[in-house]
Structure 1
Amino acid sequence: MAGPTIDFWQARFETGQTGWDRGGPHPRLLAWIAQGLPAGSRVAVPGCGRGWEVVALAHAGLDVTGLDYTPAAVAEAQDNLAQALGSTPAHARIERADVLTHQPARPYDAVHEQTCLCALHPDHWVAYAAQLHRWLRPGGTLHALFMQAPREAALQQGRIEGPPYHCDINAMRALFPDSLWVWPAPPYAAEPHPNGMHELVVPLIRR
């Protein structure tokens, strides 16, 4: 498999090398929740890490599933969820799963795509984008935060460097084409990231 392995991510969590972790839910997720997602909506958080977004969505009464394939991340997310809510509620769960093979029992109403795409080697992006389309019901929302991580070697020599991998907006338009997704008009809001980079906030609607 091209790109980082489970062992790579396991070591990062075990040694605390998780500079992408805010220690709480993403501010854009909180704003999204505040806009009023329908109660009981089924929401997935792929690559959920320590589960801060899962906790916030569960607090809002949404039916939320956090997905991660790293054992240490899953264990920490499950602990955070149980501690934050007193116990793990029936409407929230953390599953150890590979996003490239996961299939939900029923379609999700929304997916919060925050750090999963940029953590996957670009060789897997087409497969992952197809997964996101399959996961969502028609009219469902992909709440995408596209990491902007350009590197000099990539610009000058065409090297692929990461994670995080640079989610160039032109590549994103090709990966999530207008034939399958409804795009909002630019410009897109830029959200600063703790790693010194920023994300473009782009909510997409599945056709």
Structure 2
Amino acid sequence: MNENDEKMSRLDAAFWDARYRNAETGWDTGKVTEPMKAYIDQLHDLDTKILVPGCGNAYEVGYLLEKGFRNITAIDISSLLTDRLRKKFSEEEGKRLTIISGDFFELAGSYDLILEQTFFCALPLYRRKDYVRTMYRLLKPGGKIAGVLFDREFVGGPPFGGSRAEYEELFSAEFNKRSMEPCYNSIDPRKGAELFIIFEKDK
């Protein structure tokens, strides 16, 4: 492991606890993003089994609950954060919502849909192939990953950027591409720098 990989290997629970404790959350938009909101709005099966990994402040979760979805799981490595979410969603946890404190890569389960919103970009670069393999394992046949990836590079990180060509190569090992298009409804600071992706596991 080189020096950069060693630095990235420290992006553990303690790192993310500290970021949330100190409100160092510049990526946080304060609400569900418009690309994710538009995607959720066209989903109709309220029993769809949905996973939100690296859920952060879980605005997507709140919107899914608002829309009436009944089978949602949210996971984050920061227990400080998930403790906050259990208070925020206390009326729904154990009913329509499951909240898990833990490592996405160790998660068990089987899902119809996994929503991606600033989780991929928060992971160390060397874990990207593991991300794809874990997504594949967690999805049911015909299941989908849908969400937003950055189409730009960053100095340092997290977040860590990427490109359409990189994502094409990375995901094609396991998934069929259904869509990868520039987001038309990004917030101003991210205009022209986001792709909305939909990848599907074979049925």
TM-score range, shorter chain: 0.7 to 0.9
8 A contact 1:25–1:56 mirrored in 2: yes
8 A contact 1:19–1:195 mirrored in 2: no
Partner of 2:42: 35
Distance 1:126 1:191, change over 3 A: farther
Partner of 2:161: 166
TM-score by length of 1: 0.84
What do you get for the CA RMSD once the two structures are aligned? Answer: 2.1
Structure 2 CA distance, aligned partners of 1:74 and 1:164?
Answer: 20
Give 5+ residue unaligned stretches, structure 2.
Answer: none
* 1:90 matched to 2:95: yes
Partner of 2:51: 44
* 1:110 matched to 2:113: yes
Distance 1:176 1:42, change over 3 A: same
Moved more, 142-151 or 111-120: 142-151
- 1:192 is paired with a residue whose SS is coil
> Taking every aligned residue pair, what percent have the same amino acid on both sides?
24
Following TM superposition, by how much is the alpha carbon of 1:99 offset from its aligned partner in structure 2, in angstroms? 0.9
Partner of 1:57: 64
Give 5+ residue unaligned stretches, structure 1.
Answer: 154-160
Partner of 2:183: 189
* 1:75 matched to 2:70: no
Partner of 2:133: 130
Structure 2 CA distance, aligned partners of 1:23 and 1:204?
Answer: 27
Distance 1:41 1:187, change over 3 A: closer
Distance 1:47 1:7, change over 3 A: same
8 A contact 1:52–1:77 mirrored in 2: no
Partner of 2:144: 141
Distance 1:87 1:128, change over 3 A: closer
Structure 2 CA distance, aligned partners of 1:186 and 1:9?
Answer: 29
Following TM superposition, by how much is the alpha carbon of 1:48 offset from its aligned partner in structure 2, in angstroms? 0.3
How many matched pairs?
193
Partner of 1:176: 171
Partner of 1:22: 29
